[in-house]
C-alpha cells in the first residue's frame, strides 16, 4: 500500500505594471536646477566688474535697506531710477545718496508732472463753472482744451451775448465777472499766461485808421486789466496780442460771432520759454540795429573829417 503524498501548493504572484517610485525624479530635477543656478552665479561672478560685484554683495546682505551703489533691483545692475516724493524737505534722509538722471529723463518727468497739473487745473475750472451760478449760465461760451502750449480757455461770443459792443473794446459786466473768476483759479498755479484777442472777418474802420488788428489788441488788453483786477499777479502775464481775423474759430464762416473771442492760455514751461526767448532775441536785434552814441559820434567825426580842409594861404582872419 503506497503512502499518500502531501498536496503540492503552487503560489502565484500577480504583478501589477504601473508607475511607482517617482520621488527620486523630483529630487534629481531640484538638484539639477540648483547646480545650474550655482554655475550661473559662478559665471556672473567671474565676468562681473568690481562695481557690479559690490552691488550684488550689498543687495544680498541687506535687500530692503540696500543703498550702496547700483540699484535695489537684483536684476538691473546698471541702476534703475526710483523716485521718492516727499512733502517736506526735512523728511529726506541725510545719508540718502543723490539720484543721478540724464537731462532728457528729467525733462520728460517734468513735462509729465506739468501736464498732470494742467489737467487738474482744467478739472478745477470745469468744477468751478458747474458750481458757480454766474459762470454756469455762460457755460456754453467757455471752451477748455489742452494744446501744445498748455491749457487754453476760450471765451467766445454768442449772437445774443457778446462780450463787447460792435467796434468797442469795453467789456460787458458779465464778461468781466467771468474773467475775474478765472483769474482767481489761474493764480493758484505758477504758470505764466498768454492773452489773445480775436475778431471775425467783418471789416472795422475806427478813428485814426484803426482796423481789426488794433481792435483785437485793445480787447485782449481789456481782458488783461479785468484779470489783474480779479487777483491775477501782473508778472504772470507773458504776452498780450491781437490776431484780428487771422486765426478763425469757424473756418467755414468767417463772419460767425463765435470767431469773436478772448483766448487765455496757461502756458507750459516750454511755451513760456519760447516766448521769453523770442522777446529777448527781438530786444537784442533792436539793440544791434540802434547805433550807439559812440557810433553816432564816429559818423559825425568822419563827416567832419571828410570836409575839404583849407590851404594855409587860403586862411582868412
In a domain, 134, yes or no: yes
pLDDT for 180 equals: 92
Map residue 2 onto helix, strand or coil: coil
Q: Residue 266: phi, psi to the nearest 5? A: -80, 105
Report residue 280 as a C-alpha cell: 529777448
Residue 34: inside a domain, yes or no?
Answer: no
Decide: helix, strand or coil at residue 134. Answer: helix
- CATH number, domain with residue 248: 3.30.1330.60
* Domain annotation covers residue 245: yes
Task: Please indicate, yes or no, if residue 261 is contained in any of the structural domains.
Answer: yes
Question: What is the 3 state secondary structure string of 42-107?
Answer: HHHHHHCCHHHHHHHHHHHHCCCCCCCCCCCCCCCCCCCCCCCCCCCHHHCCCCCCCCCCCHHHHH
C-alpha cell at 143: 471752451
Give how far the C-alpha of residue 147 lies from the chain's centroid of Cα atoms, to the nearest Å: 11
Cβ atoms of 210 and 265 within 8 Å: the answer is: no
Which residues span the domain enclosing 163?
112-267
Q: What is the pLDDT of residue 100?
A: 61
pLDDT of residue 80: 45
pLDDT at 87: 45
Is residue 36 in some structural domain? no
Q: What is the pLDDT along the chain (317 residues), one digit of tens a residue?
A: 556 667 777 666 666 555 556 778 888 888 899 999 888 878 877 887 777 777 777 767 765 555 544 454 444 444 444 444 444 555 556 666 666 666 677 777 777 888 888 888 899 889 988 888 878 888 889 999 999 999 999 999 886 788 998 888 999 999 999 999 999 989 988 899 999 999 999 988 777 788 999 999 999 999 999 999 999 999 999 999 999 999 999 999 999 989 999 999 999 988 899 988 888 876 666 556 655 434 433 444 344 444 444 444 433 33
- Global confidence as pTM: 0.58
| 6 inside domain | no
Asked if residues 272 and 196 have their Cβ atoms less than 8 Å apart, the reply is no
pLDDT value of residue 56: 73
Cross-strand bridge partners of residue 241: 196
Look at residue 13 in the predicted model and tell me its pLDDT.
62
Distance between CA atoms of residues 52 and 19, nearest Å = 48
Degrees, nearest 5: CA angle 184-185-191: 105
Domain count, the chain: 1
Does any domain span residue 230?
A: yes
CA distance 295 to 301: 10
Asked whether residue 239 is assigned to any structural domain, the reply reads yes
Whether the CB-CB separation of 193 and 236 falls below 8 Å is answered with yes
Amino acid at each position: 500500500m503506497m503512502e499518500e503524498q502531501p498536496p503540492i501548493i503552487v503560489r502565484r504572484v500577480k504583478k501589477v505594471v504601473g508607475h511607482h517610485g517617482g520621488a527620486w525624479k523630483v529630487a534629481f530635477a531640484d538638484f539639477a536646477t540648483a547646480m545650474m543656478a550655482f554655475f550661473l552665479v559662478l559665471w556672473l561672478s567671474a565676468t562681473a566688474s568690481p562695481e557690479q560685484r559690490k552691488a550684488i554683495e550689498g543687495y544680498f546682505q541687506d535687500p530692503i535697506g540696500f543703498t550702496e551703489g547700483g540699484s535695489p533691483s537684483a536684476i538691473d545692475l546698471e541702476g534703475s531710477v526710483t523716485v521718492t516724493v516727499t512733502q517736506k524737505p526735512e523728511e529726506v534722509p541725510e545719508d540718502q545718496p543723490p539720484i543721478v538722471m540724464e537731462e532728457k529723463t528729467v525733462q520728460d518727468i517734468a513735462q509729465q508732472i506739468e501736464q498732470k497739473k494742467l489737467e487738474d487745473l482744467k478739472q478745477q475750472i470745469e468744477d468751478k463753472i458747474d458750481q458757480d451760478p454766474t459762470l454756469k449760465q455762460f457755460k456754453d461760451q467757455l471752451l477748455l482744451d489742452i494744446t501744445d502750449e498748455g491749457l487754453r480757455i476760450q471765451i467766445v461770443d454768442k449772437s445774443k451775448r457778446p462780450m463787447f459792443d460792435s467796434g468797442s473794446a469795453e467789456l460787458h459786466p458779465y464778461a468781466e465777472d467771468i474773467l475775474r473768476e478765472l483769474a482767481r483759479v489761474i493764480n493758484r498755479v505758477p504758470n505764466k499766461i498768454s492773452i489773445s484777442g480775436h475778431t471775425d472777418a467783418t471789416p472795422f474802420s475806427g478813428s485814426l485808421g484803426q482796423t481789426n488788428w488794433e481792435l483785437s489788441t485793445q480787447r485782449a488788453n481789456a481782458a488783461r486789466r479785468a484779470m489783474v483786477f480779479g487777483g491775477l499777479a501782473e508778472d504772470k502775464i507773458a504776452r498780450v496780442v491781437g490776431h484780428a481775423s487771422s486765426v478763425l474759430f469757424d473756418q467755414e464762416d468767417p463772419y460767425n460771432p463765435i470767431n469773436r473771442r478772448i483766448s487765455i492760455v496757461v502756458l507750459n514751461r516750454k511755451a513760456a520759454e519760447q516766448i521769453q526767448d523770442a522777446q529777448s532775441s527781438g530786444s537784442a536785434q533792436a539793440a544791434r540795429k540802434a547805433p550807439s552814441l559812440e557810433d553816432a559820434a564816429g559818423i559825425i567825426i568822419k563827416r567832419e573829417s571828410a570836409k575839404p580842409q583849407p590851404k594855409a594861404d587860403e586862411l582868412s582872419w
